[in-house]
């Protein structure tokens, strides 16, 4: 069976030195929200793709029942995207 392999991941210091890390995922906290980046593709069809999750899709947050968090994706240069995780605006 073809097994999904973990992506090689590094931290990069200010002086550009890379240090390899061993993790199944990385969680980045931006203001009040979190974005999880899976380092092992969750399905063989997604091999070679970066899978980002937020809100209740993050492992350990499945029980959350508040309004879902959504990704806002903005294009930058041809090789850059800007991603934020935001709760939908409520208009009452």
Tens of pLDDT, residue by residue, the chain (92 residues): 457 788 999 999 999 999 999 998 888 888 888 888 888 888 888 888 888 888 766 666 656 655 567 788 888 888 888 888 887 666 54
SS3 25: strand
Chain mean position to CA 85: 10
Kindly report the number of other CB atoms within 10 A of residue 60's CB atom. 9
| Confidence (pTM) | 0.70
Q: Which two tokens stand for residue 67?
A: 């309004």
E strands, the chain, are: 9-12, 18-21, 25-30, 33-38, 51-54, 70-75, 81-86
């Amino acid at each position: 069976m073809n097994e999904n392999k973990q992506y090689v991941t590094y931290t990069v210091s200010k002086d550009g030195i890379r240090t390899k890390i061993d993790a199944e995922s990385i969680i980045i906290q931006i203001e009040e929200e979190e974005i999880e980046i899976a380092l092992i593709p969750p399905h063989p069809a997604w091999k070679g793709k970066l899978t980002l999750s937020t809100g209740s899709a993050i492992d350990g947050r499945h029980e959350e029942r508040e309004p879902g968090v959504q990704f806002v994706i903005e294009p930058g240069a041809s090789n850059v995207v800007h991603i934020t995780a935001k709760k939908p605006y409520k208009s009452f």
